[in-house]
Chains A and B, each alone.
Chain A
Amino acid sequence: MKLTGRLLALALIAGATAATAQEADNLTAAYSEDGRYFTEDDIPTYNVEEDGTVDWLTYSGFRRYHSECHVCHGPEGEGSSYAPALKKSAIDMDYYDFVDVVVNGRKRVSASDNSVMPAFGDNPNVMCYLDDIYIYLKARGADVVPRGRPGKKEAKSDVIREDENACLGI
């Protein structure tokens, strides 16, 4: 139930602010809350310390990406013979457009193209980690996190843990 509420909220925001996000700095973290980082425009983003320590969501996104997305989009957001490089999409696309494609899917079917992104809107393994995946891919696209498993990471905050359990219904 919590999941549905969250999706509705995202959908509403998507309609409201999609136009303004392009010009702003969509990468740099301006502030953090309970282990999550946001840009000035309140868009989720990564945080990488000088010693390479990544925020929890970037690390978590690495894991979830390679469970849910890897089998079509290739390792580490690099793209494949089958599907585009999401590390680029996470940079090129507006956050809310990105969310929209994951939630609702997208079809490009023609004589030369048979690309279909499925709708993951009712898949808790994706939806409960959508920000994690987005943030990880943005960090990959910005080239602040190398290929492979991130090394040092921030601890998972209690709030992130509680939100995760609530989303998964545990």
Chain B
Amino acid sequence: MTSVLALAGNPNCGKTTLFNALTGARHHVANWPGVTVERRSGYIEVKGQQLEVVDLPGTYSLAARSEDERIAATFLAEGQVDLIINVLDASNLERNLYLTTQLLELGKPIVFVLNMMDDAERHGIQIDIPALETLLGGPVIPTIGNRLTGTDALKAAVMGVLKGADPKVRDFEAETAGHGPMDYGHDIEGEIEKLMAHTRRDEDLTRAVRPRWLALQLLEGGPEALKLAQESHAREAITAQLDESRKFLHSHLGEDAATLLAEHRYGFLHGLMLEVVTLPQAPPESHTSKLDRLLTHRYLGIPLFLVVMVAIYTLSFVLGKYPQDWIDAGFKGLAAFLAAKLPAGELTSLLTDGIIPGVSAVIVFLPVIMVLMGCISFLEDTGYMARAAFIMDRAMHLMGLHGKSFIPLLMGSGCNVPAIQATRTIESKQDRLITILVTPLISCSARLQVYIVIAGTFFKPFGAALAILAMHFLGFGLAMLMGRLLRSTLFSGPSAPFVMELPPYRMPVLKATTIHMWDKAQVFLTRAGTTIFAGATLVWFLSRYPGIANTGWNQEYQQQRVAVLALHVSQSEKDEQLKNLDLARESRIVNHSLAAALGKKVEPFLRPILDPDHKRTEAWKDVIALTAGFVAKEIVVSTMAVIHQASEAPKAGERLSPLQVALRDKTGLTPLTALAFMVFTLIYTPCLGTVAMIRREAGSWGWAGFSVAYGLVLGWLLAWGTVVFGRMMGFV
């Protein structure tokens, strides 16, 4: 039989480090059913006994309302938990023990881990461990900060308690005639009794959760308890009693029940602290205070924060670019090699134009995801992430966002995909969703490549630079507006409280950062990778069929090839001609593909933007490029090169590439419609990778669909606005 151990504790108490120390890399990450909160669990074996360790989301209380905390509360109260490991930060014991007072009410075996003992000792805090064991009624295992020296002692204690062989375990129920270690006083205990009398009538309910726990949670207004009561057949009696009890307590004790319970718990803890903890007379100034004098300094705080941001950005997107380029070049080389070796045809094309680029489109994100997630995990573990939120919250709050939204938004200008993954650090679901939905508006480096080609074609160098800069400002401004708009419409409920702990600075463990990076990479590959791959293959299909299966064209192409090979010219001349032949064939296939048919259908909708005078005959080709750009925005450029049968690489000594010349001379785009095209490219839809990530992080296809839809509408409106406004100003 496998016993289930649940790790419970406040955020920042070192729970996840302990989890890593217990399970090593032998764990897996998934989501809790139906929500986007990560569930990490792993198996270990101690003395032949199989143990499943579940790392619960950090929580300050079991009555809290945030998604993370509800999961922890439900799992602990109802789940098949055999033993709770309650991790406590010794340097912040009183507040950490608040959760403990609630855990004790669950009536399940608990082993306490007193973590960060070194921190406590450095601050001159002395803790009487035997006294604490007596008061909490269970073994207390001291561990030292991040090195976790007590792991073996912890395993031994867990086994002892599971076997019922630990003399430190107190049976509060027997000792105190029913109520647990906490006595809430005559009035409250009386109401608990009355409530229990009603809930006990429902036997299923009594089996599911401990009646005393349920009564306390009902009084406190815990959402899970209220839900359980609503589902019970005794709900009317319970609700009536609950109303009566609350009224009675309010009139007799002058406060609502939740406040009274919290006051009693902190009262109990105040007494406990006096008995167990010796605080120093004059506490030495901590490292944290010294560091914070600099890092959250009134004038230096923001510049230092920006330095940190520049460093992370450089690491992720400048250094991360190298492995990205190698991966890209590697896959391109592989595709070219196979294309040369294999006979031209549908299967080869599926492999070289469909599958290989599809896999490449997934793998290419890995370096930047791992580096950025590593940096963010590092910032979180040091405690700086909370300071970053503290510094930026005012500015972000104006945008309807949270202080922690800043980092995803900034990193979005490198790549939206890891930026959306980085929203995980935002605890409140509302704030996270808004951030996820506005991040795609931030112009990323892939879109920059499109701007460079288009702006370089239609504007003088200075004007082009201005246009490109304008796109970035537009993206940021839109993110700000949409943030406010979403906050006041879809997410108009009260915003989550910004009651955020500023934990002490700590040195992160390299192992934890590495495990975190690996987890994130794994999650990306399995959850988002499949979507990206499927989407890339679909776009390949749309842009190749039916032309690629046209035998007539294939024969024609083969004959032309043979003809070229038979020419009496130099090898380089032949290569040049063969290249042109390939481009011509590809161009023909794409221009007669399903995507082209789609483009012709969709083109009328985009006419006000791309072809306001209805003079262009080939505006539908832009639609093909935009469709292909859905896979990744930089593909817009390479697709245009194929459609217009012109190379992207400029010839020696010329400013414009053949593609740019073709765009300028043949397509009928004007500087104004080209600008509108850029605006549309910025907004029209997040790329496939981003959509896949939105689905994964927002937890539903609904939000992913919403972001595509609002992108299309907003992009159309703004591109149209660009044309209309531009014409009013006299541009063409």
Please say whether chains A and B are actual partners in one complex: no
